[in-house]
Structure 1
Amino acid sequence: MKRTRQTHPDWKTAALVSPITGSAEQPISVLHRTLAPRSVVREHSHPWGQLVYSYIGVLEVTTPSGRYLIPPNRAVWVPPDVVHEVSSLHGAEISSLYLDANESASLSTECCVIHVRPLLKELIIAALEMGDQCDWDGPGGRLFRTLHDQLSAAESEPVYLPLPTDQRLLKICTHLQAHPEDNRTIEQWSETVGASIRTLQRLFKKETKLSFQGWRQQLRVQIAQQRLAEDGVTITQVAGDLGYESSSAFIAMFKQNLGMSPGEFMKAIRCPKPSTSNLL
């Protein structure tokens, strides 16, 4: 079994939660939980697919292929049997949609991030209010089937951070994760790691499906989401911490990638969660 790289070893370990699914009577279920700040559900896998969605806060989902940071208007789909970890730096309110193997078969076989549009969000809320013990042949079943249809039609977005395995690339990427403000060009990195510019460009495309510039920008998008979730931080501070000379350049990059400005993002992650009667 391919494993994830260990993340956040000093964070609190959160308990695993098992859904009520995997039977003909209940092939889809929804659970809600609160993830405390600096806590992580350690790497695990299960025979059902899982859609991880946060109402409040930013989630980090790590798989063997890369890292996904999930703001409130996005969700990550984890297919059955994929090893993954779920964590949050500042805490989060999470809803997970679980689908058994048959229901998962029509969805992507790879992890992906989807845009949770208003209809899909309201269907998730309605499913939470209905709970797991519903009549699959009645209104509850129709609701879950509609939810499944909307999930199948949801747009996937390339917003995860793929992790390379080549040691030269890994040296660059590890440094940039710790120092995202570093604006060195690939030409300068070529001298540092002892590889030609063409070799680095080829390896980045091969191992991450992104250019060097694209990978660094995606890293900055992810770190920006984490920083903007902190209390008291300003957009100007985050822009400077990420190596941008002006806030306007940072705002334009952020909006281009997430479809909302940093200010809109900060409001979204702090908005009250929907009222439900079956929060677990």
Structure 2
Amino acid sequence: MQNDNIKCGLTRKNNSYFVDTIPKEAYVWCEKNWKHDDNEHIHARSQLTFVEEGYQYFHIENKIHLVPQHHVIWIPSEKAHKITSEAQTVELMVFLFKTVFPEDFYQDVHVFAAPPVLKEMLLYASKWNKVLAENDEQDIFFRAILRSLPNFCKESNGLEIPVPADKRLIPVCQDISSNFKYHLNIDSLAEKAQMSVRSLQRIFKHETGITLQKYLQLTRILKSIELIDTRQYTLSEIAYKVGYQSLSAFTASYFAVMKTKPRNIKSQGVSS
């Protein structure tokens, strides 16, 4: 992104809304060493983002979606979102579509691992990076990607952390995020929320759809992904850093959330 007023070919109209005068039905915008800001924004085009390297957090409504390497996120048009990341390097491919098909799939946010066929299609499409002139092959190819997305999608609901609307629960979430290495202290969390333990557990589950223990698990796995991205630690070291007493316990928890086993190669070339 060349400056604060241009994002993926879109021009900032006001503090949060981006517009474009590009006549093309769809185009792709690739960036090496992606730079972002923390501002929530909206645009009229639907967005498919493929994370080629690193990871991104997408803050959308009351959820924070993690999009790791080789995953995609679909964001419908007019859906407010912002992105954050602590990854050392982020490489993204952003596909922007003016119109989409009428199926329900295209009206909701989806995060999923890009299967090999979709990944190859997206990488092939990079040859049209920032090409805004009309191109028949590109138009047909991008429409095929768009049409195929519902078939490629295997929902990864585990890659999101809910944000409760009840303000009493915000200190609870902040405490878990700061002390994820340790076991939950339910009494202390209830005190922070100024409610009984029973009420905290009930209200938290109602607000977020998950238990406090599940929230802790998700937080630990998201933190582990950040550590894996640094390539500074073995998986055993990461397991202990995020609160697990053994590599096997960490691997089982990671698999339960991510549906795949953690993989890591330290920068020194040591495999784990």
Q: TM-score range by the shorter chain?
A: 0.7 to 0.9
1:113 paired to 2:104 = no
Counterpart Cα distance in 1 of 2:65 and 2:93? 16
Return the structure number with greater relative CO, CA threshold 8 A, min gap 6.
1
Structure 1, residues 112-134: CA drift from partner, whole Å, max 9, x if none? 31221111111111222245457
Contact 1:50–1:78 (8 Å) recurs in 2? yes
Counterpart Cα distance in 2 of 1:24 and 1:239? 47
Counterpart Cα distance in 1 of 2:43 and 2:70? 25
Unaligned stretches of 5+ residues in structure 1 = 1-12, 268-280
Counterpart Cα distance in 2 of 1:201 and 1:15? 44
Q: What does residue range 70-85 of structure 1 map to in structure 2 within 5 Å? A: 70-85=67-82
How has the CA–CA distance of structure 1 residues 14 and 220 changed in structure 2, closer, same or farther, with 3 Å as cutoff? farther
1:96 paired to 2:87 = no
Aligned to 1:87: 84
How has the CA–CA distance of structure 1 residues 24 and 240 changed in structure 2, closer, same or farther, with 3 Å as cutoff? closer
Letter of the 1:258 partner, please give it.
M
1:57 paired to 2:54 = yes
TM-score, normalized by length of structure 1?
A: 0.78
Counterpart Cα distance in 1 of 2:108 and 2:258? 21
Indicate the SS of the match to 1:113: strand
Pick from 43, 46, 64 the counterpart of residue 46 of structure 1. 43
Letter of the 2:40 partner, please give it.
E
- Please report the RMSD computed on the Cα atoms of aligned residues, expressed in angstroms: 2.9
- Comparing 172-181 with 82-91, greater Cα deviation is found at 82-91
Letter of the 2:69 partner, please give it.
P
How much identity, in percent, do the aligned residues show? 21
Question: In the TM superposition, what is the alpha-carbon distance from 1:197 to its structure 2 partner?
Answer: 3.2
Equivalenced residue count is 251
Contact 1:50–1:98 (8 Å) recurs in 2? yes
Contact 1:41–1:87 (8 Å) recurs in 2? yes
Aligned to 1:235: 235
Aligned to 2:182: 182
Structure 1, residues 243-279: CA drift from partner, whole Å, max 9, x if none? 111121011111222133222xx35xxxxxxxxxxxx
Q: What does residue range 1-280 of structure 1 map to in structure 2 within 5 Å? A: 16-18=7-9, 26-36=24-34, 39-40=36-37, 42-89=39-86, 90-100=88-98, 102-103=99-100, 105-106=102-103, 107-131=105-129, 132-133=131-132, 138-153=136-151, 154-158=153-157, 159-186=159-186, 189-263=189-263, 266=264
Contact 1:48–1:80 (8 Å) recurs in 2? yes
- Comparing 103-112 with 232-241, greater Cα deviation is found at 103-112
Contact 2:190–2:200 (8 Å) recurs in 1? yes
Indicate the SS of the match to 1:225: helix
Question: In the TM superposition, what is the alpha-carbon distance from 1:169 to its structure 2 partner?
Answer: 1.7
Structure 1, residues 217-258: CA drift from partner, whole Å, max 9, x if none? 111121111111113122222212221111210111112221
Contact 1:35–1:88 (8 Å) recurs in 2? no
Unaligned stretches of 5+ residues in structure 2 = 12-18, 266-272
Indicate the SS of the match to 2:207: helix
Question: In the TM superposition, what is the alpha-carbon distance from 1:19 to its structure 2 partner?
Answer: 5.5
